[in-house]
Structure 1
Amino acid sequence: MRKMILLLSLVPGLLVGSSIMAQKFEGVASYKSSMNIESINVAGRNMSPEMQESVRKQLMQQSQRDFTLTFNLQEATWKEEAELDPVTNPSSNGGFQITLRTGNSKSYINPSNNEFLEETEIFGKKFLIEDELEPFNWKITKETKKIGDYTVIKAEFQDINETLSMTLDGSEQKTETVMDTTMITAWYTPEIPVSQGPNNTWGLPGLILELKDGNMTYLCTKVELNPSEPVVIEKPDKGKRVTREEANQIRDEKMQEMMKKYDTGEGGETRVIRIGG
């Protein structure tokens, strides 16, 4: 009990005591996302350097999104804040229009019940992914820094996934399965004792304030603990129920269909490239 009191005393405005903590400790955290475009290879047949630079700029602009993590000690929801897609003129971008979509998703996790739900769109159709949580075998380091007023600790996880790689060379489409290794780096603070984080990450002894997942970074810009208005956590419930594996298969099939649809050849027509759902 002594250790718990010491931990709770780090959280401003938090009443000490295990029963009060279970009833009262909740909050809302705001995050902004960004993409490291320098590590992305943008190349293609008949793509000039100007076209490649246009693609990079569009990717960077559309990766800058706002998200909200709503949490208590047991569960959390993660969602993107709605905004209109930017209007672009394809002709001014060398004939390329990049639309980076996250699928308008809203997700829910409950580590104590090993429960994961995600309400998402895959090429215009609504699905409800219902599955177990993916484990994160974090390696906690001794490296620390400050994010705002909080001291954060670095943790790492090497994620190895099987992904579908698709390339289009003229009229020939090539599809192959490859093993993709991604280093996930999290900076968490024990001063906010919840096992939650952005983009459905979890499993660390404190809230994750910064997450680097491959080319994407999520940075917390604001945390509100125990707000005056009660925090409401609602489970997603809309869409056709599928597992994560089934959703990935549907997404891959739709992506192949899309690549065939937008293979316009050399006629000078605009190509629309969609990345993600």
Structure 2
Amino acid sequence: MRKTILLISLVPGLLVGVAFKAIGQQNFEGIAKYKSSMSIESLNVAGPDMNPEMQESIRKQLLQQSQRDYTLTFNLQEATWKEDAELESAASTPSTGGMQIRFSTGNSVSYLNPSKNQFLEETEIFGKKFLIEDALPTYNWKITGETKKIGDYTVIKAEYQNITEQMTMSLSDSEKTTETVMDTTMITAWYAPDIPVSQGPSNTWGLPGLILELKNGNFTFLCTKVELNPAEPIAIEVPSKGKRVTREEADQIRDEKLQEMMKKYDTGDGGETRVIRIGG
């Protein structure tokens, strides 16, 4: 008997930045709403014995799961990023081989404070709360000078080439195999100089203006609404719940739990457990 596991995780967003000098009002603050989406046309869904009907059904479920709403709350010094509501997983169907597809965000709330070089993320890893504490790595954006309009704002294009390690795991006859490959993704941001905060969606930061659109591989975050200096003061809450760990410790815990899950789904009768890799 063969079982298939489809593991998809929206890992914590890329943290990127350059030095930013705050200007303008000392009490400048606001709320920005974003919608996420995924481009499925170029998405490669690969796996042994997967027919075209199954591949297309998986792509459609991925598209549905990728469409989410987020809120970025910010002032000149700090910001929080969180998902507005969690989607239910799509129902499994015969065309997907009985698989149920779900994006995992860990119900996370992220906090960035560039002036203190501080990043905090309150998240869940397989049902247990953790508070990830990390520094903000500094990367250089390349500002292209290309412009366009998003709503009422003129935005400027910036790019960053992100190189990360991707690990795949599989179990066959109770033997685990892993493979690590290098993955290069072009991160494209469109920022508004008229909104003088160094923040953006999915924990991106470091440009001289609010990022209104972000494309990270197949994922896109688009700002749908910005409210600046609302009548009611904005309270930015610093995450504090969960066991305090570093990013490396959290990644190790997550990897160990994934391996435990894979062993749990191993048939134990000479069968094979497969992990389907999904990428651009």
What is the letter of the counterpart of residue 205 of structure 2?
Answer: W
* 1:170, distance to aligned residue in structure 2 (A): 6.8
What's the counterpart of residue 72 of structure 2?
A: 69
- Do the aligned partners of 1:51 and 1:94 also contact (CA within 8 Å) in 2? yes
Query: Is it true that 1:252 corresponds to 2:255 in the alignment?
Result: yes
1:200 to 203, 211, 225: 203
- Do the aligned partners of 2:61 and 2:90 also contact (CA within 8 Å) in 1? no
1:95 to 95, 98, 110: 98
What's the counterpart of residue 164 of structure 1?
A: 167
Task: Select the structure that is richer in helix.
Answer: 1
What's the counterpart of residue 5 of structure 1?
A: none
Q: Identity of aligned pairs, percent?
A: 76
* 1:256, distance to aligned residue in structure 2 (A): 2.2
Q: What does 1:251-270 correspond to in 2, within 5 Å?
A: 251-264=254-267
1:127 to 126, 130, 137: 130
* 1:160, distance to aligned residue in structure 2 (A): 1.4
For residues 64-121 of structure 1, the C-alpha deviation after alignment (integer angstroms, 9 at most, x for no partner) is 1100000000000000012341451444643111111111100000000000000011
Distance in 2 (alpha carbons) for counterparts of 1:120 and 1:136: 25
After the TM superposition, which of the residue ranges 168-177 and 254-263 deviates more from structure 2?
A: 168-177
SS of 1:62's partner is helix
Shift in alpha-carbon separation, 1:201–1:165, aligned structure 2, 3 A:
same
What's the counterpart of residue 22 of structure 1?
A: 26
What's the counterpart of residue 18 of structure 2?
A: none
Distance in 2 (alpha carbons) for counterparts of 1:170 and 1:183: 38
Higher radius of gyration, 1 or 2: 1
* 1:255, distance to aligned residue in structure 2 (A): 1.8
Compute the TM-score of the two structures, normalised by the length of structure 2.
Answer: 0.83
Distance in 2 (alpha carbons) for counterparts of 1:209 and 1:48: 38
Structure 2 alignment gaps of length 5 or more:
1-22
Structure 1 alignment gaps of length 5 or more:
1-16
CA RMSD of aligned residues (A): 2.6
SS of 2:100's partner is strand
Which structure would you say has the larger RCO, counting Cα contacts within 8 Å and 6 or more residues apart? 2
- Do the aligned partners of 1:98 and 1:272 also contact (CA within 8 Å) in 2? no
Distance in 2 (alpha carbons) for counterparts of 1:265 and 1:151: 59
After the TM superposition, which of the residue ranges 168-177 and 220-229 deviates more from structure 2?
A: 168-177
For residues 149-198 of structure 1, the C-alpha deviation after alignment (integer angstroms, 9 at most, x for no partner) is 10000000111122322245676542022222221110001010100000
What is the letter of the counterpart of residue 257 of structure 1?
Answer: E
After the TM superposition, which of the residue ranges 246-255 and 256-265 deviates more from structure 2?
A: 256-265
